[in-house]
Chains A and B, each alone.
Chain A
Amino acid sequence: MRQNNMLAMILAGGRGTRLYDLTSKIAKPAVYYGGKYRIIDFPLSNCANSDVDVVGVLTQYESVLLNSYVARDHRWGLDAKDSGVFVLPPREKDSGFGLYRGTADAITQNIDFIDQFNPEYVLILSGDHIYKMDYAKMLAHHKANNADLTIAVLEVPMKEASRFGIMNTDETDRIVEFEEKPAQPKSNLASMGIYIFNWNLLRDSLIRDEANDASAHDFGKNIIPEFLDTDKRVYAWKFDGYWKDVGTISSLWEANMDLLDTANGLDLSDNSWKIYTEDVATTPQFITEDAEVENSLINQGCVIAGEVKNSVIFTDVTIEKGAEVKDSVVMPNVVIEEGAEVRRVIIAEGVRIGKGVKLGSKDGEIELIAQDRL
């Protein structure tokens, strides 16, 4: 806060319905990704690496695991004296228990939290996107434009633009129009759901929005249109890098497979922009004399005695002799017994695949295995 007067609020209340059993007991931001991470490690590490050191995390759906996970702020180095990760689930108030009615309402209900820090800028983030971004650069852009609101945008293929919230800009990057999922898109600049607001303006807008019964209390539907309608200085900041919103089993699988491409834009091994996560007390990886390992990402604590190809293997997984794992994502503490064969599957945490069991197929849909198969 002292360095940039900016506080971050991460919207992490989403369920991720299309991730099925992966999100039946945990919110989408806590879903595993990339061999050792949870998705929310990305925005939290980006904050830590960008010197954004006070972070509120707004949780709602199945938030117990997510709350206890993010509350341990030392994982991201956000535990210095003036830093912190603050867990903000809905709370009981004078007026009753208030669920967050929308993305903007989640912030409105925590105006008192933000006011304690009296920031000049508030950075709004989503807890379920995978990307590496230097928010300090975005803030510099915001200040250089003397902007009231800056929205991070990504250039998407024109033919896919109608799936996104599209920003139409002038030659100075000022946003002149915002269209949600337009049938005939005029530009390919898609909103990434990452905003820097001047807090005093956002605060006023949120209070007006709260009083408006017709509002959906949503940034995209209500707050941003109001900023544009009232001629506030709204600017786009172009992000050029890997960004993924993993909403489905197949997109989660794809995002994991992207990491096996050595030219992937995410580069988790870049020591200047590490992604931090839980520090699990475990061993190094044991690759036995019977193992065959090829084009795969494997994390600490694994014992590999079988064949692993084109796969992402999380912490403490055991793959026994004669087992074959191909084109798959295997989450922590999974055991794949002797002779089992899996292909194009995601195996959820702690699942056991019995001797000789065969799952998945060479070119079918990606299958989620969330229960033991013995």
Chain B
Amino acid sequence: MLDALGIVSFENDGILVEGLMKYRPIPAISFLGRYRLIDFVMSNMTNSGVSNLKVFVKKQPRSLIEHLGTGRHYNINSKRGKLQILYGESNELTTGIYNHDINAYVQNMQFIEDSKEKYVIIAPGYVVNAMNYADVLDAHIANGADITVVYKQVDNADKAYLGCNALALDGNRVGAIATNMGQEKVRNISLDTYVMSRQLFMDLVNQAAEISSLYTFKDVLSSSVSTLRVEGYEYKGYCACINSLERYYEANMELTDYKVAKELFNREWPIHTRTNDSAPTYYGKDAEVENSVIANGCRIEGEVENCIIGRGVTISKGCKIKDSIILPETFVGEDTVIKHAVVDKKVIIQNVKQIVGDDERLVYIKRRDRI
């Protein structure tokens, strides 16, 4: 067991997954047919040996509470471990611009104070990766750093990580933290994953609240780089930051390639999720499926190419589904053509026969729509 409290932080305002985020907080969004985004950070935490977890929810907590449950499916011990789902309970302070991470931490400070662990590991619910935080903690202790920030060096920061935080590094030392506006291709993108002592974390949060009621944790870090030793830790494995609908789409699509998926999925580092007890998927006599990721409980009778098909989806005869993501429990009636679309959960498509977007413009079909 790690001597570290796990904090799953919520996304800052730059992270906007258009459409999908209207119905649930970003960490609760379905990913790769089988998972929800938060499964990755939760599994990383428990696989790393964290057993005391605080999950902060920005809004609409229902779907996350239901999915996380007691945390048993993530291997959190029901007696010795702890999973708390926390959100800002004071109404006037958690609406609009005031609904940010520092505010949520301040309102729940008693639970962080009451914890016994020496360190905190903070990681967000919108990053898809397979990462051992125990290694980061070891490095943090070995370096004698005050704060360790995990980053990934990317060469497509002009497109893929807009709105994420980027680090200016001097050796391993973080010199500055700024929002990636896409001016450069190669950047060290912060995965908003931090290790520090629990005491320092509490001090920083309290200071931030005193400086400005609009201060976020990132602002605190930016202003700390001159006074504290803030070190970078490079993560080299597969990583996707789901900060827009386009990135959500691209990350799903790139994982249809099993060679890419193997960088993320590894039997030694399982990604846990809540079981739905679905039957195996049935592929019909006329099914034609190619380069796709398919969850259990589906019935596939048409053509599916370069798609992610969520749990319990029906693709009827004569359908041609291409380059699309179909979220769980959606029904697609006979002879429907879908291209470049994200179809949200529990949609019934029966009368409309063409849902076609293109490379430039994805079509999004909203949750529980009947079309």
Contacts and interface: CB of A to CB of B under 8 A. Distances in A.
Contacts, number: 99
Interface stretch (A21-29, A123-131, A220-228, A275-283): A275-283
B128 interface: no
Contact of B281 (A260, A271, A277, A285): A285
Interface SS of A by simple majority: loop
A284 B295 contact: yes
B262 to A, nearest CB: 9
A295 B283 contact: yes
B290 A298 contact: no
Which residue, of A289, A297, A299, A313, has the highest number of chain B Cβ atoms within 10 A?
A: A289
A240 B280 CA distance: 25
B270 A282 contact: yes
A201 interface: no
Contacts of A281: 270-272
Which residue, of A36, A281, A294, A303, has the highest number of chain B Cβ atoms within 10 A?
A: A281
Nearest to A304: B289
Interface string A285-306: 1111101111111111001010
A287 B315 CA distance: 15
B258 A288 contact: yes
Interface SS of B by simple majority: loop
A277 B303 CA distance: 30
Contacts of B275: 279
A35 B290 CA distance: 21
A260 B261 CA distance: 29
Which residue, of A74, A275, A293, A313, has the highest number of chain B Cβ atoms within 10 A?
A: A293
Interface residues of A, number: 38
Interface residues of B, number: 35
Interface string B64-104: 00000000110000000000000000000000000000000
Contacts of A292: 288
B295 A291 contact: no
Interface string A255-283: 00000101000001101001111010111
A271 B296 CA distance: 13
A34 interface: yes
Interface string B276-292: 01111111110111111
A282 B220 CA distance: 39
Contact of B282 (A74, A297, A303, A305): A297
B5 interface: no
B283 A286 contact: no
Which residue, of B270, B296, B312, has the highest number of chain A Cβ atoms within 10 A?
A: B296
Contacts of A35: 279-280
A299 B294 CA distance: 9
A287 B261 CA distance: 12
A275 B275 CA distance: 12
B293 A291 contact: no
B33 interface: yes
A252 B175 CA distance: 66
Given A285-B294, A287-B291, A300-B296, A293 B280 contact: no
Contacts of A36: 279-280, 296
Contacts of B285: 294-295
Given A293-B283, A297-B281, A313-B280, 10 more contacts: A260-B282, A268-B280, A281-B272, A291-B289, A291-B290, A293-B289, A296-B283, A297-B283, A299-B280, A299-B296
10 contacts: A36-B280, A74-B72, A281-B270, A283-B34, A289-B291, A293-B283, A296-B282, A297-B279, A297-B282, A299-B296
